[in-house]
Every structure is written in structure tokens, then in C-alpha cells.
Structure 1
Amino acid sequence: MLRDHSDTENLGEPSTRRSASPISADDDFYGLDDLLPEPESPLPAPYSFSTYEIPSDIDLTVEDEDNRGRQLVLRLVGSHPLWNTARIFTTFLLKNPGLVKDRSVLELGAGAALPSIACAIAGAKQVVITDYPDTDLVENMRFNVDTNVPGNLRSSVDVVGHLWGHDVKHLMARTEDKGYDTLILSDLHDALIKTVNATTSPDGCVLVFFTSHRPHLVKEDNAFFPRLAESDGGWVYEKVVEEWAGAMFEEDPGDEKVRGTVHGWKAWRVKDGQKAGEKATS
């Protein structure tokens, strides 16, 4: 689902309590403050849980600390389900280990962080997981890492908030300013293009998996790739996945086939002899 990661800040003034009129120690009544109790603390975010089973045809040994076998357990903030896009993206990464093993991986807009967790288990050298810098989101990603990534691999995983299109010094510092070998994302916001250009290593690649949950905006969704291709000296992109997964929400309007198909694209910077844009098929 596309999300607007616009820059927001709390502009409200700090709350202050009004002072009651001065009273003597002998006065036998309560002041105004005593009649107005302190506001209750906000309730914690509601959670739900979902699972992902590593397919049996993927040769991957998982060091399991909790006897779950090959099942990953994801805690989700709120009541939204685990997106079909995340499931298919994760399976693609595990079936294409060359995109993961011994590479530095950055996920933008990670949500529950399933693809990143799979990258860590599959042998990524480094995994940096990011989403909107909201406390509940960031802490939930950390929870999922602690729950699913074996202890001997957790030191290679970092969770941090990042606002798309903003300063990436804190992300680049984690690679000694070399950039990331593989970027993974499932959103098509223009602000992502700036972050992609600023964090991908010269020989790195970007993987973008998404579903057009709003069929009337398919054209706008697909326009992300030509805009990426025209940026920062040029990018080449090609489709690597088109898979029916079923519509997430039956009550949503529009063509069910469009709403239920996951598209996966791979992009890389223009190399000698290449032209920016979609890779020509032979």
C-alpha cells in the first residue's frame, strides 16, 4: 500500500497546568488542580501476528532458537495483515541468493521487515532496516528482528528510522560511505528516488516489489520507473516477477486481477553500452 511519508512535526505547545488561586494551609478545600486529574497515558499500539513459512524447495538452514523450524513470526502494528507483496518479495530474495549473500542490504519502508529478516538469515553481510521514524514502527521492527533472527546474526542487523528524501548521513555511515549493494522497497513515492540515488553503491541494484491496490492509479504507479531512470545519471530497469497473489481486500474497488498481482522490478545504474530506461528484451 502506498503511503505518504511527508515531513511532519508536532506543532502543539507543551501542555501546562493552570495554577489555582493561592490558599492558606488552613483552607479546608481542594484547589482546581486537585479536581482535574492527570490525563491517562496513551494506550499502546494494538498488535496482530502473522507467519511466513520458508518454502521447502529453498535450501536454507535456519538456526532456530525457539523450535519454530522454518517459520518466521511477524508482529504487525495495528490490524493490517502481512502484505502479499512482502511474502512474494521474500521468496524471490531467498530463491536468488546472489542478491543477498555477503552483500549489504538496505530496506526502505520496511513495515514488519520480513524481507530484511530473510536477507539476514540468508547470509547478508549487513542489513539496515528502515521505516518512518515513528517509535511504534521502529520498536516493532526491532521486536521482529529479535524474534526471528538467530542471536549469532543479530549483530549484522540494524533498525533505524528514516524519512524518505531526507538526510542519509546516518545510513551511509553504516557502510563507511560506500553505499549499499542491494536496496529493497515496496513503495513508489517520488521521495524514494532521492534516497535510492544517495544510498546505492555504484555497482548496486534496487529491487522494487509492489501491488497496485488502486487500479485507477496504475499509470501513476508505473511512472515511478521512468522517473528513476532519468535521475542521477540514469538507471536501467527490468521486470523480474509478475505473480498473482489474490486481492488483499475484497471490498476494495477496481479490477481484482490488478489489485491481486504482485510486480517485481530490478534496477541498476547505466553501464557502458546501455541506455537509461526499461531493458530491451531480446
Structure 2
Amino acid sequence: MEDFCEVVVLRAGPAKLHEIHITIRELPLADGVHGSTGNQLWPAGSILAQELLRRPQLVQDRFILDLGAGCGLAGLAAAALGARRVLLTDCDGETVCNIHHNIQANRHLWGPEGGNCEVQAEALDWKRVSEDYALQERADVVISSDTVYGHFGDDLACCALNLLSSTGSMILVAPKDRQTGVPAFLERMKSAGYVYVESWVQDEHGEDFHLFDLKRRESTAPS
């Protein structure tokens, strides 16, 4: 199987006049050479990227951390929308290499003509991040999609809490049929002082997704 490249068109605004074109390379899935699901573009990632385009104020002039970035669509959208810095992470080395490729393919979106965003990719397994792991800078916003499958919700929350700034926020998208870890994720975030707004989003094929917008209560933010 060959690598596959496509141009993903994201649209938002009145009559969907605001649009961004992002080039994404996908690698073959489970063919004996490329085995990670992160090398494929999944609908939840598109929903997350679309939400950022709809609400660009979430990312503008901020440091965005993408956990489980996959092909990198949402993080690249954040960079194109005016983020100050974007760090795309995934646990699989091959997936991270593919993210690097996609960063280079889209650099014109935030280069000299499109802004000045620092965009990086690195390996990070959010299921195994300890309290000793630290970024040079804590994230203003953590974004993530399709990562609360199985019983990893608590792990995802612990990682996000460890890497978020004291006033940071998080956007999570979960497919309707892959939400086993959602209760544990929300419980951990609430215990850390976060409140959330949840909404349902439907893609163009009629598939339902749960979107969580999490923010820390002002009274619980460390001084």
C-alpha cells in the first residue's frame, strides 16, 4: 500500500466563507510496515480541527499542546489560526515522523506570510507521563481527540493536568461509540477544579461526537 496525501478543507463562519486548506499525509494501516492507527486521519480529529476554526479565539496567541495528535490535523489548524506555539505529540515514533512531514508540508500557513508560530512534534505517551515530566513551558490549551477509549480516561486527565498552566483549558472530542474512559476523565478533571460544557457534534456522514470544553474554576486556580 502506498502513502496517501489529501488536502483537508476546513470551513466555518457565515455561509462557511472562512476556510483553511491543510495537506495531510496518511500512511497505510496495519500492512506489516506501517501499523499505528495514528497514521490515519480519523473523523474525531477533523471535528476538533473544525471546532478550532469555528472558535479561533481558543488558540490565538497561545501555546497549544496536542495529545495523541495522529496525523496532526488539529494542531496544524491551531498553528494556521494564529497560535503562538504548537506542540504535537504522539506515542508512536513513526507517527511523529509523519507529523514532521505534515508540518513541513503546511509551513506556509504560519510562515512569514501567514504569521509566526513555533510548531514542533515529539514523542509523548500520555498514558505514561509521570509528575516528573515537565515541558519548558506549560500549555495554555490542551487539545485531544479519540483518546478516551478503553479505560485510559484517568491517564489522559492526569497527563493534561500535569502539562497545563494554572489557568489552562482543554478541548476533548470523543466519538459516541468510544467513550469508555469519559467518566474517569471527567471525574479526575472535576477533582482538580475544572468545570466543563459538553455538546454533541455531528459530522457530514451523520456520525455523533461528544465535545468537552473544560476550564478551571477561577477560585481554584493556584496563585
TM-score using structure 1 length:
0.63
Q: How far is the alpha carbon of 1:46 from its aligned partner?
A: 5.2
Counterpart position of 2:97: 139
Unaligned 5+ segments in structure 2 are: 30-36
Counterpart position of 2:187: 227
SS class of match (2:101): helix
**Is residue 48 of structure 1 aligned with residue 8 of structure 2?**
no
Written as runs of structure 1 = structure 2, the 5 A alignment for 1:1-282 is 47-55=3-11, 57=13, 70-79=20-29, 82-132=41-91, 134-150=92-108, 151-152=111-112, 156-164=118-126, 165-167=128-130, 172-173=135-136, 175=137, 179-186=138-145, 187-188=147-148, 189=152, 190-214=154-178, 218=179, 220-231=180-191, 233-239=192-198, 241-245=199-203, 260-272=207-219
Contact 1:246 1:261 in 2 (8 A): no
Q: Partner amino acid for 2:7?
A: T
Name the CA distance, whole Å, in 2 between partners of 1:154 and 1:169: 31
Unaligned 5+ segments in structure 1 are: 1-44, 62-69, 248-256, 274-282
SS class of match (1:118): helix
Are the structure 2 counterparts of residues 155 and 222 from structure 1 closer, same or farther at C-alpha, using a change threshold of 3 Å?
closer
Name the CA distance, whole Å, in 1 between partners of 2:121 and 2:157: 21
Name the CA distance, whole Å, in 1 between partners of 2:106 and 2:131: 27
Name the CA distance, whole Å, in 2 between partners of 1:106 and 1:209: 15
Q: Partner amino acid for 1:55?
A: R
Q: Partner amino acid for 1:52?
A: V
Q: Partner amino acid for 1:47?
A: D
**Per-residue Cα deviation, 1:181-207 (whole angstroms, up to 9, x for no partner):** 110011112321221111111111010
Q: How far is the alpha carbon of 1:83 from its aligned partner?
A: 1.6
Runs of 4+ in 1 over 3 A off after TM superposition: 56-61, 151-155, 167-171
Are the structure 2 counterparts of residues 269 and 125 from structure 1 closer, same or farther at C-alpha, using a change threshold of 3 Å?
same
SS class of match (2:105): helix
**Per-residue Cα deviation, 1:52-99 (whole angstroms, up to 9, x for no partner):** 1131646768xxxxxxxx421211132475222111211110111111
* More strand, by proportion: 2
Counterpart position of 1:41: none
Contact 1:108 1:130 in 2 (8 A): yes
Are the structure 2 counterparts of residues 52 and 263 from structure 1 closer, same or farther at C-alpha, using a change threshold of 3 Å?
same
Q: How far is the alpha carbon of 1:242 from its aligned partner?
A: 1.3
TM-score using structure 2 length:
0.78
Aligned residues: 200
Find the structure with the greater CA-based Rg: 1
**Root-mean-square deviation over aligned CA pairs:** 2.8
Name the CA distance, whole Å, in 2 between partners of 1:154 and 1:78: 32
Contact 1:54 1:71 in 2 (8 A): yes
Q: How far is the alpha carbon of 1:212 from its aligned partner?
A: 3.1
Q: How far is the alpha carbon of 1:221 from its aligned partner?
A: 3.6
Q: Partner amino acid for 1:143?
A: H
Are the structure 2 counterparts of residues 155 and 243 from structure 1 closer, same or farther at C-alpha, using a change threshold of 3 Å?
closer
Moved more, 183-192 or 198-207: 183-192
